[in-house]
Amino acid sequence: ELKVEQNPLFLSMQEGKNYTIYCNYSTTSDRLYWYRQDPGKSLESLFVLLSNGAVKQEGRLMASLDTKARLSTLHITAAVHDLSATYFCAVDMYGGSRLTFGEGTQLTVNP
């Protein structure tokens, strides 16, 4: 059974600081996704990582994938308040876009 674990689950940080969210998964896969969810809203796709060593960046967010370690990271650089949201990683182990999600990391960026 595939398990996807994120840590931390809650993260409170100051504006301007850097931090990393970790996503560990239990079974081999080279398809990992990051999503953002604002309160009461749907999920917004951030990154699609499809190979070992993949790195993608968008603004203050950078995601990477290490399939051998079964680990993905979402790095936040110089956080701003607008980044406050819940971030989910999800793994597609079986294909067919059948995603297994982590519990989510609730990020709060304080002024």
Partner 1 sequence: NAGVTQTPKFQVLKTGQSMTLQCAQDMNHEYMSWYRQDPGMGLRLIHYSVGAGITDQGEVPNGYNVSRSTTEDFPLRLLSAAPSQTSVYFCASSVGTSAEQFFGPGTRLTVL
| Cβ atoms of 67 and 42 closer than 8 Å | no
Virtual torsion, Cα 24, 27, 31, 34, nearest 10 deg: -30
Rounded CA-CA distance 71/107 in Å is 19
**Residue 18 or 51: which CB sits closer to partner 1?**
51
| Six token digits for residue 35 | 């999503």
Q: What residues numbered 77-106 form the site for partner 1, per CB under 8 A?
A: 88, 90, 92, 95-104
Closest CB to partner 1 among 72 and 100? 100
Q: Does 111 bind partner 1 (CB under 8 A)?
A: no
Mark 18-37 with x for binding to partner 1 (rule: CB under 8 A) and - for no binding: -------------x-x-x--
Q: Is 4 in the site for partner 1 (CB under 8 A)?
A: yes
Smaller CB separation from partner 1, 64 or 100: 100
Name residue 92's amino acid: D
Task: Write the DSSP symbol of residue 81.
Answer: G
The residue type at 100: T
List residues near partner 1 by CB under 8 A. 4, 31, 33, 35, 41-45, 48, 50, 88, 90, 92, 95-104
